[in-house]
Each structure stands twice: as C-alpha cells, then as structure tokens.
Amino acid sequence: AYVITQPCIGTKDASCVDVCPVDCIHPGPGEDGFDDNQQLYINPDECIDCGACEPACPVTAIFEESAVPAEWKQYIKINADFFQGA
Ligand code: SF4
Ligand code: F3S
C-alpha cells in the first residue's frame, strides 16, 4: 500500500484524494467532520497500489510502503492505525 507521511501535516493539499480511483484516502477536507486531523491517511486494506496519488502530491508526502524514507517509517503504522480505530 501507499503511505502518507510527515510533509502532509500542515499542508493537506488533498490533490491525492481527487486522483485515487478507489477513494481510499481519508479524510478529505470537510469530510466526516474530521477537518482538524493533522494529515490525510491511506487505508492499506483498500489501496490498490496504482501509484496515481504519489505524483499528485505537491509536497511529496506519499510513498509506496517499501520506499518510505527511514525517518518516516512510523507513518506506515500511523496510516494503518487510523483505520483500525475508526
Ligand atoms: Fe489510491 Fe492508488 Fe494512491 Fe493507493 S496508490 S492511495 S489506490 S491513488
Ligand atoms: Fe497530503 Fe499531499 Fe494528499 S499534502 S492531502 S498527501 S496531496
């Protein structure tokens, strides 16, 4: 699955949401009353690894799981955990 990492925090551009063919990037601005979330998250159980979101992000926050930079590896769990608790 693809993963959203630290650069999304404070940016939340949401261009990724528009290009995702399976709508697995949550939550969007104004969606579900989650506007105050720090970042958006990709549901690893729904992501089909199409890669469309990666170049759409203006701050390069999105990486394929195996390509996440070492300092942001914790975001793999952070994305997954968001959907565990939901
Ligand atoms: Fe959506 Fe494709 Fe990105 Fe997965 S890789 S989150 S399916 S746009
Ligand atoms: Fe965040 Fe980039 Fe999407 S800033 S909301 S991962 S386009």
Q: Where are the domains of the chain?
A: 2-85
**Cβ–Cβ < 8 Å for 62, 2:** yes
Question: What's the CA-to-centroid distance between 23 and ligand 2, angstroms?
Answer: 14
Question: Tens digit of pLDDT for each residue in 23-61?
Answer: 999 975 555 555 567 899 999 999 999 999 999 999 999
Check if the interface score ipTM surpasses 0.90: yes
CATH of domain 2-85: 3.30.70.20
- Residue of 3, 13, 48 to test ligand 1 pocket, by largest number of atoms within 8 Å of CB: 48
Q: Whose CA is nearest to atom 4 of ligand 1?
A: 47
Distance of CA 9 to the CA centre of its chain: 10
Which residue lies with its CA nearest to atom 3 of ligand 1?
Answer: 53
Read off the pTM: 0.91
| Alpha-carbon dihedral angle through residues 69, 80, 82, 58, given to the nearest 10 degrees | 40
